[in-house]
């Protein structure tokens, strides 16, 4: 077999792998792990069931690959807390912008919500996947935000990491309760009220 033909075959196979990963992602995000079947994954991917098994071994391995792919690529942008794009603004503006961006992203992107549902729901049966989420998504956000607070000693924040956990926790819980658990139908709350109160708590006024 010629070298070009080898590469062609290899890229075709890689294409199938991506197609399977994409189909499996849709299926798992929609129906959960136990609620998904390899038959439907094969159909959604446009390949036969045997091809799915030849590429990913078994259902658990495929689920692992899907979640890791989501945690490493697809969702990195959603939680991207780049200080660079906020440079030149006051801490108050920066914190407000980060909070607004988090809530907007999670509210508009159904993949974010489905991913959080599955990663929390399966965290008991798939602890390694939960840890991958913590390492790849939660930890970077917390550490980057903590460093930002440490870089601004004029804010006089005694415990930056605990403060960041309070901020992130408030925002995540807002998304979980209002959007994912459909709480906005029952006890609505404007996100601006939460964000303003949060920023006012963290950044104390000078005149008091």
Q: Which residues bind a copy of itself (CB under 8 A)?
A: 31-35, 113-114, 116-125, 127, 130-131, 133-135, 138-139, 142, 158-159, 161-163, 165-166, 168-174, 176-177, 180-183, 185-187, 189, 193-194, 196-198, 200-202, 204, 208
175 membership: H or E segment, kind and range: none
Cβ at position 33, least distance to DNA in Å: 8
Task: Return the number of the residue (30 or 101) whose C-beta is nearest DNA.
Answer: 30
Q: For DNA, which stretch binds (CB under 7 A), given 30-38, 79-87, 116-124, 185-193? A: 30-38
Instruction: Tell me the helix, strand and coil percentages in the chain, rounded to 5.
Output: 75, 0, 25
Cβ at position 103, least distance to DNA in Å: 35
Binding mask 53-72 for DNA (x = CB under 7 A): xxx--xxx------------
CA–CA separation, 10 vs 183, rounded Å?
48
What's CA 132's distance to the chain center, in Å?
11
Interface with DNA includes 172 (CB under 7 A)? no
Cβ at position 95, least distance to DNA in Å: 44
Question: Which residue bears the tokens 């070009």?
Answer: 4
- Answer yes or no: are the C-beta atoms of 71 and 54 closer than 8 Å: no
**Side-chain half-sphere exposure of 29, counting CA atoms within 13 A:** 21
């Amino acid at each position: 077999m010629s070298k070009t033909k080898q590469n062609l075959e290899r890229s075709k196979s890689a294409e199938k792998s991506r197609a399977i990963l994409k189909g499996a992602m849709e299926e798992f995000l929609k129906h959960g792990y136990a609620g998904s079947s390899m038959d439907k994954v094969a159909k959604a991917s446009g390949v036969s069931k045997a091809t799915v098994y030849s590429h990913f071994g078994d259902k658990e391995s495929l689920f692992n690959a899907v979640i890791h792919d989501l945690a490493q690529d697809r969702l990195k942008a959603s939680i991207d807390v780049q200080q660079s794009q906020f440079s030149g603004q006051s801490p108050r503006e920066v914190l407000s912008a980060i909070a607004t961006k988090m809530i907007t992203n999670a509210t508009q992107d159904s993949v974010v919500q489905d991913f959080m549902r599955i990663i929390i729901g399966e965290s008991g049966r798939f602890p390694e996947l939960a840890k991958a989420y913590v390492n790849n998504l939660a930890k970077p956000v917390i550490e980057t935000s903590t460093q930002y607070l440490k870089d601004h000693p004029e804010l006089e924040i005694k415990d930056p990491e605990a403060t960041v956990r309070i901020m992130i926790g408030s925002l995540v819980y807002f998304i979980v309760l209002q959007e994912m658990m459909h709480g906005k139908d029952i006890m609505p709350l404007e996100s601006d009220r939460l964000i303003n109160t949060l920023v006012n708590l963290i950044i104390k006024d000078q005149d008091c």
